[in-house]
Amino acid sequence: MKNKNMKFGNVIILVLSVTIIFIAIGFMYLSIKLNTCSNTKNKYEVKIVKVVKETVISGSNKGVKTDYELADGNKTIKFKFNLKDNKDFISYTVVIKNTGTLPAQIDNIIEKSNYQSDMLDIKYNDVIGDIIEPGDEVELSLSINSPKGSILSKDLDYQATILTSNIK
């Protein structure tokens, strides 16, 4: 009878030991999975990644001066123009990229300048409302010309800031 009780006790100890080992393995697996999930952070980031001067047309022999720089974490592009004739024309392609891990939407383009609105005619394609998935790009085509009759002989500043929001 003693021998039977010892065998039963050994079986219980063996079952409990195996159960504890499986519980430990399960907690280890759960810890690794949770740690991996917590290291994957959602990131929201949209910025201008490339600016290409496509066309520069001078309406006279005076020449067209144009330059740009990126600011505000590549969310703003600042242009400096010196158009001297009413037939001068410049066009740019501005590439906007979602470098984050969350989808984003272009909400608005805020424009600021140091000239009267009739001195330059600036147009861009409608990208407001476009949704940019992570890794995708949107092209903003920008054209600048001096309307007929405008007399330009100084540097004119124009800046465009891209306002975006993440989409959940």
Per mean pLDDT, which range of 28-32, 38-42, 96-100, 163-167 is the poorest?
Answer: 38-42
Tens of pLDDT, residue by residue over 28-73, are 999 888 877 666 677 889 999 999 988 887 766 666 778 899 999 9
Q: Max Cα separation, the chain?
A: 116
Q: How many CA atoms lie within 13 A of 149 on its CB side?
A: 1
E strands, 15-155, are: 46-57, 65-71, 76-82, 89-98, 104-113, 121-124, 131-132, 137-145
Beta carbons within 8 Å of 67's beta carbon, 6+ residues apart: 79, 80
Question: Dihedrals φ, ψ of 49, to 5°?
Answer: -110, -20
Percent of the chain surpassing pLDDT 90: 40
Give the pLDDT confidence score for residue 167 in this predicted structure: 83
Predicted confidence (pLDDT) at residue 24 exceeds the cutoff of 70: yes
Taking residues 131-139, report their average pLDDT.
93
Give the pLDDT confidence score for residue 5 in this predicted structure: 67
Mean pLDDT of the chain: 84
Query: CA 113 to CA 157: how far, in whole Å?
Result: 5
Q: 134 and 80 in contact (C-beta within 8 Å)? A: no
Query: CA 28 to CA 5: how far, in whole Å?
Result: 35
